[in-house]
Amino acid sequence: MSATRPSSSVAGPAEPGNETLTVPLLVVLAVVVVAGLLFGYDQGVISGALNGIKQHFTLTSILVEVVTSWVTLGALGGSLLGGYLADRYGRRRAVLIAGLLFILGALLQALAPDITLLVLGRLAVGFGVGVAAVAAPLYGSELAPTAHRGRFVAAYQLAITIGIFLAYLVNAGLAENDAWRWMLGISVVPGILLVLIGALGVESPRWLVKVNRRDEARTVLGKVWPGEDTTARLTAIEHALDEEAGTASWAEVFNPAWRKPLMIALGLAVFQQITGINAIIYYANQIFAAAGFSTPAMQTTATTWAVGGVNVAATFIAIAFIDKLGRRPLLLVGLIGMGVALLVVGMAFLSIDGQPAGDGQAPGGPTTAGIVTLVALVVFIVSFAFSLGPVTWTVINEIFPGQVRGRAVAVATAVNWGSAFLVSQFFLTLIGAIGTSWTFWLFAFFCAVGWIWVYRTVPETKGRTLEEIERSWTGQASLATG
Ligand code: BGC
């Protein structure tokens, strides 16, 4: 553990600290936001579309699982592809490719005459989501002014939550009409938006310098921060890149020199998922059913507002505080809230007649234990939404040296999707095996382990330039932990 050193004592030129949000920067922000919407909408929509799909195609249970989970698998592959595309063709072009994949996938799903094309559509959408999930936050974090970087990536998380919320609303609104094709097809709109806005955007100057297109980088810097000392910014970027040897390969991501940032990114990626967020996002209806919300309408309302709406609202806390209080305090406070809430949900389920989630419904309205569950889930969602949700993506996108950033972010994002896949796939099985209470206590236990790990390992990166963070791994600068 080391003390914070003022940035002025750090070797190498620092970037000027202008914080103005110019039009090109707002376009970057718009790209980040639309990519987040796509990601979130896809997390949330399938639960609503599935019933109609099952009836239309008379699916076996294996095919139901394939239709549900292949977006996640596609996203896992897409995030690795996204890292390659972002390093090879640039952050902006990778975003454009994601948008095209997304449009293709959404159309295939909406028009699919048979199950094979539907599954292909799911896979294409998944690839699009994966590529966007890597390229867009990377694009945002490389272009954001240092003082707003946390907020830029937190805006991505905000958009994810809005996407999930919109999907819940669309599911509720279209459920009666068996309009699954519309539910899935609607996502063509953000896909088109992503391509249009991405086409207007500038390329990341950090990437341009990396591929030796310094003149273009200078032009972009001039556009993004007009009237400023472009040379100073360029020099700071060049200085950081000059210290890096060789060209990035996948192997370079695992170079021992970058072990620390890799461990930090992978740790956050895994803890974000194994503390249970997507078990709740996907299975909220069943959890509320088991907790005594007896009618589907009550369950959908609880899910839409207590999970979907609260998730959106609480993300604003992160946007307000991530660059002021910093990443560590948000993580440490949020993990305590999540852990306590999960302990309480586990206790509430002890008294819910031993009914496993997904099976039973108590007669009448929600019981006391049901209300306790609802409140505890709200506390959980709020705590996640200002901590592990946004901070994970912010840190993953700022912690790596420029040379390996694209691919390293891709590896961390793929690990995040892999963990999400495992948790959502095995949540119900786990409940069957160890019971609902112990399943939530297991998530709570991971919060406790996560807290200790964050306290000891994750450095504070608030207010540091990407170049300073980079130099901290080679001992030329230091970041505070503990
Ligand atoms: C996570 C998603 C999750 C969402 C919920 C994101 O940061 O990566 O897996 O569904 O937050 O808001």
Q: What class does CATH assign to 1-245?
A: mainly alpha
Alpha-carbon span 67 to 309, nearest angstrom: 26
Burial class from Cβ neighbours inside 10 Å (0-12, 13-18, 19+) for residue 58 reads exposed
Which atom of ligand 1 is the closest one to the Cα of 392? 7
Which atom of ligand 1 is the closest one to the Cα of 315? 12
Query: Residues 6 or more apart from 196 whose CB is under 8 A from it?
Result: none
Mutate to test the pocket of ligand 1, among 41, 277, 443 (most ligand atoms within 8 A of CB): 277
Which atom of ligand 1 is the closest one to the Cα of 420? 9
Alpha-carbon span 444 to 459, nearest angstrom: 23
Between the CA of 269 and the centroid of ligand 1 the distance, in Å, is 10
Which atom of ligand 1 is the closest one to the Cα of 43? 10
The predicted pLDDT at position 357 comes to 46
pLDDT in tens, 154-209: 888 899 999 999 999 988 888 766 689 999 999 899 999 999 999 999 999 999 99
The predicted pLDDT at position 360 comes to 44
Q: Is 290's C-beta closer than 6 angstroms to any atom of ligand 1?
A: no
Mutate to test the pocket of ligand 1, among 272, 311, 383, 413 (most ligand atoms within 8 A of CB): 272
Q: Is 281's C-beta closer than 6 angstroms to any atom of ligand 1?
A: yes
Q: Considering the entire predicted model, what is its pTM?
A: 0.84
Q: Is 157's C-beta closer than 6 angstroms to any atom of ligand 1?
A: yes
Alpha-carbon span 333 to 409, nearest angstrom: 25
Q: Which pLDDT tens digits describe the chain residue by residue (482 residues)?
A: 333 333 333 333 445 455 678 899 999 999 999 999 998 998 788 877 877 888 888 887 777 777 877 888 899 999 999 988 998 999 999 999 999 999 999 999 999 999 999 999 999 999 999 999 899 988 988 888 888 888 888 888 899 999 999 999 988 888 766 689 999 999 899 999 999 999 999 999 999 998 889 899 999 998 888 877 888 888 888 887 766 544 567 788 888 888 999 999 999 999 999 999 988 887 888 888 888 888 878 888 888 999 999 999 999 999 999 999 999 999 999 999 999 999 999 999 988 755 544 444 445 567 888 899 999 999 999 999 999 999 999 999 899 988 888 889 899 999 999 998 888 778 888 888 999 999 999 999 999 999 999 999 999 999 898 888 988 887 777 787 76
Nearest CA residue ID for atom 6, ligand 1: 389
Between the CA of 370 and the centroid of ligand 1 the distance, in Å, is 24
Between the CA of 434 and the centroid of ligand 1 the distance, in Å, is 25
Between the CA of 238 and the centroid of ligand 1 the distance, in Å, is 34
Q: Is 109's C-beta closer than 6 angstroms to any atom of ligand 1?
A: no
Between the CA of 389 and the centroid of ligand 1 the distance, in Å, is 6
Mutate to test the pocket of ligand 1, among 37, 39, 43 (most ligand atoms within 8 A of CB): 43
Nearest CA residue ID for atom 7, ligand 1: 389
The predicted pLDDT at position 293 comes to 86
The predicted pLDDT at position 316 comes to 94
Q: What is the C-alpha R_g of the chain?
A: 22
Q: Is 311's C-beta closer than 6 angstroms to any atom of ligand 1?
A: yes
Count helices and strands (H / E) in the chain: 21, 0
End-to-end CA distance of the chain: 6
Nearest CA residue ID for atom 12, ligand 1: 161
- Please count the other Cβ atoms lying within 10 Å of the Cβ belonging to residue 364: 8
The predicted pLDDT at position 217 comes to 92
The predicted pLDDT at position 117 comes to 95
Q: Pinpoint the residues of the chain covered by CATH 1.20.1250.20.
A: 1-245, 250-482
The predicted pLDDT at position 212 comes to 87
Query: Residues 6 or more apart from 49 whose CB is under 8 A from it?
Result: 171, 180, 183, 184
Q: Is 420's C-beta closer than 6 angstroms to any atom of ligand 1?
A: yes
Q: Is 72's C-beta closer than 6 angstroms to any atom of ligand 1?
A: no
Q: What class does CATH assign to 250-482?
A: mainly alpha
